[in-house]
Structure 1
Amino acid sequence: MNVKEIKANIKTCATLRFNVGDGLYIKPNKSRNGGAWELRYTINGNRRFMTLSGVGFPEKSLAEAKAEAAIIKQQIKNGIDPLAERARQSEAEIITMNNLFNDWHKEESKRLKNPERPLGHYIKRVQPYIGKLRVEDVKATDIRRIIQKINDDGIPSISNQTLYLLKKLFKHANKLDITQRNPAAAFNSSDAGGPGKSRDRALSFEEIEITLKVLRDNIAIFTHDNYLLIILLIIFGNRKTELTKAKWNEFDFSKNIWDLGIRNKKESDIKIPIPEEVMPIFREIKERSCGSEYLFPARKKSKNGHISDDTLNHALGKMFGSNVSKKKYPNLLGSQGVKHFTLHDLRRTCRSLLAELGYEGNKVTRYLNHKIKGVAGIYNRYDYLEERREIASTLAQRILPLAKINSNSEEG
């Protein structure tokens, strides 16, 4: 069939497609006096129609369609199903490290308890250096540069976690036959700042007073919301994300109870008593949250709605002069004699302060949302709610004056 006959058939065709010859067909589109090129072929006893790539007739000429069809027919002779090959190639190709991470994270997020954690490590620690590199082009020197940079920032635990992530990514690439190399394989925990060590850092009341004064004096850098967060972490001994992700519907202020439920590391149901002394802080947070469902809403556009997990880390890092932002800050806390501490050290600090105030035993164990160990933990179902309320009240009475917050007013 020639071009003139094809055009005539398009106008008069009453079927879904018509035969042009040599296995070529056209599926007419009468509105534009053209149609899609199709190739009919048989493979493994199955007869199929395949639309040729790109434009149809008349943009793709009869000669061009025949040439493309000839190439496809040769593939079929070699046992390759062109439709199956096209489907495989249409899937997102994994070329760069960004492609690799996205493919790995898509699967891992179904299994991981906290999928945002490796996402954060990758975006902050890996992507800026090798995200756009081809997987095959990443070298061991790139891996070393990444973990050395984190070590230089003084956070070896994050260096270890990032190295572990890189090893998993390249193992995923090996599994998919993208590469047989793993440039992270030769590195171990000693390269990433050493094996993790149990920390014993806890702040004294004196250090807390100095720390809070430095934060107040530099509130434009640290921010007032972060300041309120720090105070609550010291008093309640919470894990950071229990507060940063807290919603107002978890709080019953008619009973002064925070129902954290199982939204905690131990996934054990717990209700946290709120002492009256701390209520001014919650009233101020409520006002500052401007109607958000979260106590601490995101300060930039975010799909999470609450502040980033690293917001408070970065704010505290600035106070110690860590390289966490484009602008370099002096070691404001260190210059006042405060030894470096992390946010999780505040949880240990809370435990230490309670011991200093004379509180020990199961009520403190439950105050920190730890499980009571041994046989006592099996049979003792009492939750020490009122005892914990007394503990929180006592600690608040010691901390709030240091924070310059009047427990009888709405603002500090």
Structure 2
Amino acid sequence: MATRLNDKQIKSLLRKGEAGRHAVGGGLYFRVSREGSGFWVARYTANNKRREITLGRYPDKSLATAYAEAFQLKEDVRKGIDPLAEKKRPDMVKIRTVNDLAEDWLHNDIEKRLKHPQIPRRIYKQLLSPHFGELALKRVTPLDVRHAIQAITTSGRPTVANDALGYSKQLFRHGIRLDLMKSNPAEAFTIHHAGGIEKSRNRALSISDLNTVFQILHDNPVSFTRDNYLAVALLLILGVRKGELIAARWTEFDLDNAIWKLPEARSKTGAPITIPLPNAAIEWLEELKVRGYNSEHLFPARRTSQRRAYISDDTLNHALAKMFGKKTKPGDHPANKLGDAGIEHFTVHDLRRTCRSLLASAGVSPHIAERCLNHKLRGVEGIYDRHDYLEERREALQKITDQLGPIINRAER
């Protein structure tokens, strides 16, 4: 083995500036570039091939540190590890924390598999990551998972707790597939440890309920803004999904012909649909356009956001929850204005069920009502019946709008 160079000799070689490679000892070399810079290089043999790897720049990396790294490199080679090959491995091997794993899972699994990957991404980022996202994969335990799920359950969101548990299981199974984990810390839990067995909701509001609800919402414009008010009105008479409405762009609307062309990319069924607009809906949309100050969206974001230009998925949910006296952030103490008026709790999604119930009460045929809600027709009828029923749906939605319009269009604010 060549005589080991000392630090004084290394500095002398660098001052001379003669390009070349100089043996330090133990497989370590000091390389002087043509530009006069110094680098540490280690040479070794792996799989009968002579190989060379750069360890770093001098003096950023001292002689002692470089020599220690060269020694460890030789030990790795003896164990069958090729350092250069390891360095070229994909980024997957750099997944160290749960957050790293989650990003890989969301990008390489969820985004390719789900039409709406923003839902699991939001649940992970907001509800799971704060509890165990920064932990190393080897450190996360079932207790960490249980703590995160119980926090969601305690907040009164059993369905979300069940979803979060399901996503946790998928996340850690992804880690096992990549051979980054040997066990799944969420696997032993069931929905009984989260939100419990979910009962199918059947909540639909009556005309009497709606009369009270809109009166209270109308009388509390600070707690429930006009934009929220109009969003609830549109959801109720159009029967569309919340996500379809809040992300809508003005380019999708033809108010002169009273239609909304919901594109395939945002339709949950995966097919585009033309939605007829009742007269009252056109008036509300025109008001929203004025209120939007030339925004491309019907419901522009109410605060600067780099993530997207329209309101959050939780905006309407939180606004309605506060009207039922539910806390949506620390320090909140809202009054239960709807509950005190005798209104049984309902959610934003219950407005869609209410629309379907009102259509049935108005004598609308089931297949027309189902298409009003952008449901695919089932069975043989769904296979052979390709008629869009636009005019029939227009007549159906106008029937319930005639009932609800006077209730919604109260005195101007």
**Structure 2-normalised TM-score?**
0.87
Does 2:289 correspond to 1:297? no
Provide the residue aligned with 2:205 in structure 1: 203
CA deviation vs aligned residue, 1:321-345 (integer Å, no higher than 9, x gap): 2232221323221111111111111
Measure the CA separation in 1 of the matches of 2:177 and 2:49: 32
Which residues of 2 match residues 56-205 of structure 1 at below 5 A? Answer: 56=58, 58=59, 60=61, 62=63, 65-87=66-88, 93-108=94-109, 109-205=111-207
Alpha carbons 2:359, 2:397 under 8 Å: kept? no
Residue from 29, 44, 49 that aligns with 1:46 = 49
Q: Give the 3 Å change call, closer, same or farther, for CA 122–177 of structure 1 in structure 2.
A: same
TM-superposed deviation, 1:38: 1.3
Aligned residues: 403
Measure the CA separation in 2 of the matches of 1:78 and 1:135: 25
Measure the CA separation in 2 of the matches of 1:145 and 1:4: 58
Of structures 1 and 2, the one with the larger relative CO (CA 8 A, separation 6+) is 1
Q: Give the 3 Å change call, closer, same or farther, for CA 104–45 of structure 1 in structure 2.
A: same
Measure the CA separation in 1 of the matches of 2:162 and 2:118: 17
Q: Give the 3 Å change call, closer, same or farther, for CA 275–188 of structure 1 in structure 2.
A: same
TM-superposed deviation, 1:205: 1.0
Measure the CA separation in 2 of the matches of 1:270 and 1:369: 7
Does 2:319 correspond to 1:318? no
TM-superposed deviation, 1:287: 1.6
CA deviation vs aligned residue, 1:275-316 (integer Å, no higher than 9, x gap): 222222111111222222211122231322221112211111
Provide the residue aligned with 2:357 in structure 1: 352
Identity %: 44
Provide the residue aligned with 1:243 in structure 2: 245
Residue from 268, 276, 279 that aligns with 1:276 = 279
Residue from 354, 365, 368 that aligns with 1:363 = 368
TM-superposed deviation, 1:12: 5.6
Structure 1 window deviating more from structure 2 (228-237 vs 306-315): it is 306-315
TM-superposed deviation, 1:218: 2.3
Measure the CA separation in 1 of the matches of 2:98 and 2:333: 30
Measure the CA separation in 2 of the matches of 1:318 and 1:269: 34
CA RMSD, Structure 1 to Structure 2 (Å): 2.7
Q: Give the 3 Å change call, closer, same or farther, for CA 30–405 of structure 1 in structure 2.
A: farther
Alpha carbons 1:202, 1:346 under 8 Å: kept? yes
Provide the residue aligned with 2:215 in structure 1: 213
Unaligned runs of 5+ in 2: none
Q: Give the 3 Å change call, closer, same or farther, for CA 124–76 of structure 1 in structure 2.
A: closer
Measure the CA separation in 2 of the matches of 1:103 and 1:233: 36
CA deviation vs aligned residue, 1:332-362 (integer Å, no higher than 9, x gap): 2111111111111111100111122222233
Measure the CA separation in 2 of the matches of 1:110 and 1:386: 37
SS class of match (1:221): coil
Residue from 387, 401, 409 that aligns with 2:406 = 401
Measure the CA separation in 2 of the matches of 1:269 and 1:34: 62
Does 2:227 correspond to 1:225? yes
